[in-house]
């Protein structure tokens, strides 16, 4: 999900431009300013790709570890959708989320993502908990409350 955020690509662009300026200035007067800028961008591309790859790879590994801890084999998760709220149960807690407090519901593959108003994190739940009819009902309930 990190790669879908505009601020992430802004950060990547800032790192690339910063490296390019640093490298371009190191050429001194050997090339024209345009050549220095272009070669600076070319030489900065490799470290920028390495940094981005490292951050995305570590993020993936951390998320995978967290999912493995929460969703181990045999864990029982439940979801029920009422007229005005969504109830999610796990072995550790029960969450009752009012439709008024939910900003969005997104689904991708085997996962459903719940975005709460005022909370920067997404709740991630297996899509198996939300049959298509229940997911449609949840989306209608949120649209009715937020729209």
- Residue pLDDT tens, the chain, 147 long: 567 778 888 988 898 888 888 888 888 777 888 888 888 888 888 888 999 899 999 999 998 888 787 777 777 888 888 888 889 888 888 989 888 888 889 888 888 888 988 888 888 888 888 888 888 888 888 887 655
Give all strands of the β-sheet with 111-116 in edge-to-edge order. Answer: 102-108, 111-116, 122-126
Q: Any idea where the domains of the chain sit in the sequence?
A: 2-70, 78-146
Beta bridge partners of 52: none
pLDDT of residue 146: 57
Structure tokens at 147: 């729209």
Integer angstrom CA distances of residue 24 from 17, 28, 75, 77, 99: 10, 8, 55, 55, 53
Inter-residue contact 87 to 79 (CB < 8 Å): yes
Beta bridge partners of 123: 114
Buried b (16+ CB within 10 A) or exposed e, 121-139: eebbbeeeebeeeebebbb
The burial of 99, by beta-carbon neighbours within 10 Å (0-12 exposed, 13-18 middle, 19 or more buried), is given as: buried
Query: What topology is assigned to 78-146 in CATH?
Result: PH-domain like (2.30.29)
Cα 131 to chain centroid, rounded: 23
Please tell me whether the overall predicted TM-score, pTM, comes out greater than 0.85 for this model. Answer: no
pLDDT of residue 72: 73
């Amino acid at each position: 999900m990190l790669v879908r955020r505009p601020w992430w690509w802004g950060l990547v662009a800032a790192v690339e431009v910063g490296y390019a300026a640093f490298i371009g200035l190191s050429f001194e007067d050997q090339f024209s300013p345009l050549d220095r800028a272009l070669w600076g961008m070319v030489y900065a591309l490799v470290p920028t790709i390495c940094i981005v790859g490292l951050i995305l790879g570590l993020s993936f590994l951390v998320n995978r570890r967290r999912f493995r801890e929460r969703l181990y084999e045999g864990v029982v998760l439940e979801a029920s959708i009422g007229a005005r709220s969504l109830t999610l149960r796990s072995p550790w807690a029960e969450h009752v989320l009012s439709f008024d407090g939910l900003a969005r519901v997104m689904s991708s593959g085997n996962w459903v993502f719940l975005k709460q108003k005022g909370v920067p994190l997404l709740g991630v739940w297996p899509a198996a908990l939300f049959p298509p009819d229940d997911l449609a009902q949840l989306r209608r309930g949120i649209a009715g409350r937020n729209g």
